[in-house]
Structure 1
């Protein structure tokens, strides 16, 4: 299923602003609410639809990340990707996003369909935990991040991760049935 406009608007949980209602937006809103109300994440430290901009063969692309959790200093701590389909088939793409995000890499990434989830160690690419219970509360995430080994990518590593990421969201999931599909990545508008 591809994300498409439903023609209406809804109030964003994080900002209070009116936003476009899409086939995935209710899920993003539910994830944000879960993180804040059940897991103790500070609302001000969550941002939705954070653009991940990258370049392949001289062309810039942009893929929005569903949610990003930032620390008090504005550094990304956790990338959250919503998927429609088998959570396991989105794990590698999500790890790449966690490695490529501006200000990153992050220590952990989460991919979920809101029924199942995989918490991923971004450095190793390994699954740390599965199920919706894998979503750490904010205090636990802060502890995990503080003890994680986070190393910036070399230029060569960044290039390889960018190509893998682009392959997943550009070719595997990006070849679509019609021009009306809004599935990223989209070439970045100048």
Structure 2
């Protein structure tokens, strides 16, 4: 076992449940793997319907941040919901989850987002950021997902100002929760990589 000095304890390596890729074996990764297994073995999703570890890049104030989306469910060819995991309070993660669902797919706003700490969960609609249901049972099973993909609206999220606001939220939120000041904090980079106005937004409109 390797203690990485206040960041994550790495126990070794594990194989990703969905892809078979080798990943660092950490407490958080074990929860992520359990969530993927739950969706397949208990809730009935096909492995190929779940996209693990998609990312969103943002850069503001010379800080580049990569947002990780633990799982994205693609049903009948459309991304229906994202699932974001993090320990602790779910309420503090709502805005970032909604922001990610709004900008991950270029063609439309992904209509639903789930936040979970592995013990509890919230299901949110992403048009207004409203919590629709709570508890681990709020994660829809495959049959319900088939209904939802017909009921939900997959509307474009093309407004440049709103997309910029969502990316700013991710840039602030995910740099803050990444490493709590440890050595892997993202470093400033050349401003010519991506021009962005100063400031950051910490709430959704």
Tell me if the contact between 1:63 and 1:186 (Cα under 8 Å) persists in the aligned partners: no
* Match runs of 1:77-156 below 5 Å: 77-103=80-106, 104-153=108-157, 154-156=159-161
| Greater Rg by CA | 2
What is the aligned partner in structure 2 of residue 162 from structure 1? Answer: 167
The runs of at least 4 consecutive aligned structure 1 residues that moved more than 6 Å come to 185-188
Offset from partner CA, 1:98-134 (integer Å, 9 cap, x none): 1111344211010001110000101120001000111
Provide the C-alpha distance between the structure 2 equivalents of 1:69 and 1:99, rounded to a whole number of angstroms.
14
Q: Is the 8 A contact 1:119 1:130 kept in 2?
A: yes
Unaligned runs of 5+ in 2: 1-5, 194-205
Structure 2 distance, partners of 1:3, 1:48, is 22
Q: For the aligned residues, what is the CA RMSD?
A: 2.5
Partner of 1:31: 35
List per-residue Cα deviations over 1:38-82 (Å, max 9, x = no partner): 111111111221111234367653211111111343x32211000
- Give, in whole Å, the separation in 2 of the partners of 1:41 and 1:8: 28
Q: Equivalences for 1:3-82 in 2 at 5 Å?
A: 4=8, 6-56=10-60, 60-73=64-77, 75-82=78-85
Count of residues in correspondence between the two structures: 183
Which secondary structure does the structure 2 equivalent of 1:109 belong to?
Answer: strand
Give the structure-2-normalised TM-score: 0.79
Decide whether the 8 Å contact of 1:5 with 1:20 is kept in 2. Answer: no
- Preserved CA contact (<8 Å) 1:52 1:102: no
Q: Secondary structure at the match of 1:179?
A: coil
Q: Distance in 2 between matches of 1:170 and 1:151?
A: 29
Structure 1: runs of 5+ lacking an equivalent = none
For residues 62 and 187 of structure 1, do their structure 2 counterparts lie closer, same or farther at Cα, with a shift above 3 Å needed?
farther
- Separation in structure 2 between the aligned mates of residue 169 and residue 59 of structure 1, nearest angstrom: 11
Please give the TM-score of this superposition, normalised by the length of structure 1.
0.85
